[in-house]
Structure 1
Amino acid sequence: MLKQINWGIIGCGNVTEVKSGPAFNKVEGSALQMVMRRDADKAKSYAHRHEVPQWTNVADELINHPDINAIYIATPPGSHAEYAIKAMEAGKAVYVEKPMAATYKQALAMLETSRSTGVPLFVAYYRRTLPGFLKVKELIDSGEIGQTLYVNMRLIRAARPYEKEARQDIWRLQAEHSGGGIFYDLASHQLDFLDFLFGPIKTVFGVAANRGGYYEVEDTVSASMQFKNGVVGNGIWSFVTHENAQEDIIEVVGTTGKIQLSGFEHTPIILYKDGEVIEYPYLNPENIQYNLIKQVVETLQGIGQCVSTGETAIRTNKVMQKIVKDFYE
């Protein structure tokens, strides 16, 4: 087990500015020592602004650096497998952004490398550690809504102006980089959280379509699923609707009550039970990935157990691929 975790970041873009990057220096026994970005000026700027000792624009230099024993990969999903496999083969623990990879095949190659090398692989599904989402799990596990029957998800919003332009620099709209459309980027969080609540999805059917015509990947998706514990679920995702139709809601319905929450707005959890409406407000950490990063560090130090690993995260890649399969075939 490692006592001191010295991190390197591959891909120090926007997601690392506040959500994750600063957290590596806030956890005891953890320090951010080096960052990499292909644009050398941007890598240097990030290192200067965040007081990171070293920077580079060459990934292999960071991966093989003797001072680094753990690597956070925050590039688009299409390059996760390449960097993660190299890092694990170099003996460096890996914490990779979600979704785990652009395809299930790539994710499987990552997981197989982790298994064969014995090097740990973690995935940034941080909702598994946030207070509001943990409250939902507590309410369900304690029987506050009786036996859970079904879950219903709706994530619906209008297209952003830059999405309508189908700009080539938006990796989320290029399947080779993201795995699919915005569905892959956002629904992955929701589907992984449901896996956290109910366990693996046993059966899933989905349809995907491009209804807006702004870009080539899917923009509207529907899915029905059943979890191994018997809970059934359905979801609708659309990213080209009218502004008045926008929704972000997850409803968990049981025999004696219902829980309602937002997947992305972090508004209070609402419990409907016995004619009452109870709200549970909560505060997230300043750096929203802090709780999960702390778990990763403690797991590497042998004093904890991380709830989001390659073993759990690959299930979401498999489910998403099944949902959009016909669209891409």
Structure 2
Amino acid sequence: MKLEKVRWGIIGCGNVTEVKSGPAFQKVKNSELVAVMRRNGELAKDYAERHNVPKWYDDADALIQDPEVDAVYIATPPGSHKEYTLKVAAAGKPVYVEKPMAIDFEECNDMIAACKAAGVPLYVAYYRRAQPRFLKIKELLNRKAIGDVRFVSSTQYQKTADEVKKGEELPWRLQPAMSGGGLFYDLASHTLDILDFLLGPIKDVHGIASNQAGYYQAEDIVTGTYRFDSGVHGVGNWCFAAFENVDVNEIVGSEGKITFSTFGDDPVVLTTAAGEQQWKFERPQHIQQPLVTMMVEELTGEDTKSPSTGENGARANWVLDKLGKH
């Protein structure tokens, strides 16, 4: 599939599209955002007016069938990702879907199959794969800056939001029917995917998921161990009812270690017998723009391939399912 210019439509123009993704479609070369959809038509109209988008819809099917829409970005909660992906694929248009890719691994496989049958690409919004800070870590690993990789540890925990403690209406991220699980599915998916990018696919998974605080039904703590195809071992701890916010990953090798966060802006740190080196990276204004650039370049026939596909997006869901169901 080769397009001269990619004219995008968005299904679900909520918060994630305001700064993280939406403006990127208008700023990337040979890319344009031409239509948005939200079930609340007034909110869709408001978004379109504020972002200078020519069309808005309150019906997803109408946007998908719009002949002026070449590709569709699905930015709804995961519970509707499969439904919309199958419809976009049936219309013969490329799909870019938010993460997690779906509510479970089985749905991911259905989405991959539909896009393959339709002959259209399927991309997933694991945008860290295109960001300079993680490409730097990849480069350090490739040149064996820490020798042979032995294991990776991830520790991510945070406080419970006050409104959740008060028993107010739960956000969709804490409703498994819409999200697949709790905050583990929403947040740990980024870490597990970037480890897949840096170290290769995970092969064996063992985990324990529980709800300790009792504020909602989804898991609020997950502890897991895993082994990558390469033989590297991994351990992860995620807790969403702790006393502070912590986000740290360590990749340990025979000659050193690399320390970094998944979500923070703190430096990437390389520690070896020779000492410590740090690299600081500015957060992109529109955090998905590097990945959007790569997708557009691929769709317009340039010698670029998106590093985030349905296949690796599904692998993240497979690990989430193994660790997070309780």
TM category, shorter: over 0.9
Question: What does residue 96 of structure 1 align with?
Answer: 97
Question: What does residue 118 of structure 2 align with?
Answer: 117
Do 1:164 and 1:215's aligned partners in 2 also have CA atoms closer than 8 Å?
no
TM (normalized to structure 2)?
0.98
- 1:22-33 alignment to 2 at 5 Å? 22-33=23-34
Unaligned 5+ runs, structure 1 = none
Alignment partner of 1:20: what SS?
Answer: coil
Q: 1:276-310 CA distances to partner (integer Å, 9 max, x unpaired)?
A: 11110112321000000011111111211110000
Q: 1:85-127 CA distances to partner (integer Å, 9 max, x unpaired)?
A: 1001001111000110011111111011011111110000001
Question: What does residue 61 of structure 2 align with?
Answer: 60
Q: 1:180-208 CA distances to partner (integer Å, 9 max, x unpaired)?
A: 00000000000000000111111010110
Q: 1:232-254 CA distances to partner (integer Å, 9 max, x unpaired)?
A: 000000000113xx311000000
Question: What does residue 290 of structure 1 align with?
Answer: 289
Do 2:41 and 2:57's aligned partners in 1 also have CA atoms closer than 8 Å?
yes
**CA deviation after TM superposition for structure 1 residue 163, in Å:** 2.4
- Taking the aligned partners of 2:18 and 2:188, their CA distance within structure 1 comes to 23
Do 1:208 and 1:323's aligned partners in 2 also have CA atoms closer than 8 Å?
yes
Alignment partner of 1:21: what SS?
Answer: coil
- Taking the aligned partners of 1:8 and 1:192, their CA distance within structure 2 comes to 26
TM (normalized to structure 1)?
0.97
Do 2:208 and 2:222's aligned partners in 1 also have CA atoms closer than 8 Å?
yes
- Taking the aligned partners of 2:57 and 2:126, their CA distance within structure 1 comes to 27
1:34 equivalent to 2:28? Answer: no
Question: What does residue 230 of structure 1 align with?
Answer: 231
- 1:151-300 alignment to 2 at 5 Å? 151-243=152-244, 246-300=245-299
**CA deviation after TM superposition for structure 1 residue 213, in Å:** 0.5
* Identity rate, percent: 49
Do 1:250 and 1:263's aligned partners in 2 also have CA atoms closer than 8 Å?
yes
Unaligned 5+ runs, structure 2 = none
Q: 1:101-156 CA distances to partner (integer Å, 9 max, x unpaired)?
A: 01111111101101111111000000101111111111111110000000000001
What one-letter code is carried by the residue in structure 1 that aligns with 2:223? S
- Taking the aligned partners of 2:278 and 2:96, their CA distance within structure 1 comes to 34
Over the aligned positions, Cα root-mean-square deviation in angstroms equals 1.0
Do 1:132 and 1:266's aligned partners in 2 also have CA atoms closer than 8 Å?
no
Alignment partner of 2:269: what SS?
Answer: strand
**CA deviation after TM superposition for structure 1 residue 165, in Å:** 3.6
- Taking the aligned partners of 2:213 and 2:257, their CA distance within structure 1 comes to 33
1:311 equivalent to 2:311? Answer: yes
Runs (4+) of structure 1 exceeding 6 A deviation are none
**CA deviation after TM superposition for structure 1 residue 169, in Å:** 5.0
Alignment partner of 1:284: what SS?
Answer: coil
278-287 vs 115-124, which deviates more?
278-287
**CA deviation after TM superposition for structure 1 residue 166, in Å:** 4.5
Aligned length: 324
What one-letter code is carried by the residue in structure 1 that aligns with 2:268? I
